[in-house]
Amino acid sequence: MSTHTPPRYPFAWTPPMQMPEALKDVHESSAMEVTLPSGDTATLVTRYQDVRALFADKRLSRNIARPDCARISKDNDLFMDPHIDPDPPKHTQVRSLVTKAFTARRIESLRPYVQEVADELLDEMAAGPRPAELNEAFAFPLPIKVICKLLGVPAEDRDQFRGYVDGFLAVTKLPPEEIGRARQNLWKYLGDLIEDKRKHPADDLISEFIRVRDEDDNRMNEHELHFWCQGLLIAGYVTTASQIGTGTAVLLHRPDLVREIQADWSLVPSTVEELLRTQIMGSSVGTMRYAIEDIPLSDGTVIKKGTSVLLSEEGANCDPRVFDKPFELDIRRQENHHMTFGAGIHYCVGAALARMELQIATESLLRRFPDIHLAKPAESLPRALGGFMEGFTEIPVDW
């Protein structure tokens, strides 16, 4: 019997603002064993080539509500709803309902709204106390307002559901009863909202889902309707919000780069991509898969049928075979095809929206406050640990 315990995953961040030190060693082979917060072990696939291919591989099932699949946490079975089938053909059916709302044209039609919200929030921030806390003042409200508009959720409810979502996404930072309560509250909140929208449909995504569901029970049942509304609400803001806050903090830690951008605004998109590449907020705990067949990897290792697999987006993103000087923050990096939004049929449906929000947020902030800087040393910024999202929780800024 081996006495060796596989390393803990998610890997610890390297303070203050670098990618986890552990990532420097993960590419020696195509895969490694890791220990999850639950104590279960899983196989982490680490090289770009394999990660990208496996995102599209039908031999890996996304249906992980199986008794022998590893769990991320004993106290939170996020992503493990046994009534939801996330594999094709069901997945394809639901996804095609959603993608309509996320075409480039639809996203572009939201651009003026996003800019308006960003400007309003920055006005308020300028008029408020200094230093300001960037998450509260800007990074969270911006994507919340946008996703609320898209889904048709009243923005006034945001404090309420934000609390539930925070509990929902806890891994070890809250006791299991509290996680359970947050989930129930969120489910109930959405149930009430859906009932309300059934009576008063509007031009928004939830109303559209309800319409499709009520017309044809086979496309989406009531449980699926709730599930996907919840998924879009959570995914639509927490990820973008953490990325705006934490990505900005990382950028402000490098005033030289801030000056470079301010001298040439066309660098904003590549800066956003580079921050997406190097600062994955949620590690890769959301990419749990289950092998339904044996799968050989690029170095000859075989993932055996029945293995629980995590696809390491951060491993792929710093694979030296693909990225030159992968641990360096290079805001001029060309062809930055990082894996932060996944790949294949599960590619993040909100990626284009997130990119647009991140670009607007970054440029508007640096234009409005040319001298913006961190009001505390980077080393002292607290990072959220023990949750599915691991961004900085407090980012005091001054200008």
Partner 1 sequence: MRVVANSATCAVSSLCVYRLPGVFDQDEEGLVLVLDEHPDTGLHEEVRRAVRACPTNSIRVVENG
| Contact residues for partner 1, defined by CB under 8 A | 55-56, 96, 99-100, 102-105, 107, 335, 337, 341-347, 349, 351-352
Shortest approach of partner 1 to residue 378 CB, angstroms? 32
Residue with Cβ nearer partner 1 (114 or 171) = 114
| Ramachandran angles phi, psi of 353, nearest 5° | -65, -45
Shortest approach of partner 1 to residue 343 CB, angstroms? 4
Residue with Cβ nearer partner 1 (113 or 347) = 347
Shortest approach of partner 1 to residue 185 CB, angstroms? 32
E strands in the chain: 31-35, 41-45, 60-61, 132-133, 288-291, 295-296, 302-303, 308-311, 373-374, 396-398
Strand 373-374 to strand 308-311: parallel, antiparallel, or no bridges (unpaired)?
unpaired
Residue with Cβ nearer partner 1 (80 or 98) = 98
Strand-pairing partners, residue 302, are 296
Residue with Cβ nearer partner 1 (344 or 396) = 344
Shortest approach of partner 1 to residue 51 CB, angstroms? 12
Residue 117 in tokens = 């919200």
Shortest approach of partner 1 to residue 216 CB, angstroms? 17
Full DSSP string of 91-125: HHHHHHHHHGGGSHHHHHHHHHHHHHHHHHHHHHH
Element (H, E) at 16: none
Full DSSP string of 294-358: -EE-TTS-EEPTT-EEEE-HHHHHT-TTTSSSTTS--TT-SS---STT--GGG--TTHHHHHHHH
Residue with Cβ nearer partner 1 (111 or 305) = 111
Residue with Cβ nearer partner 1 (103 or 184) = 103
Shortest approach of partner 1 to residue 103 CB, angstroms? 4
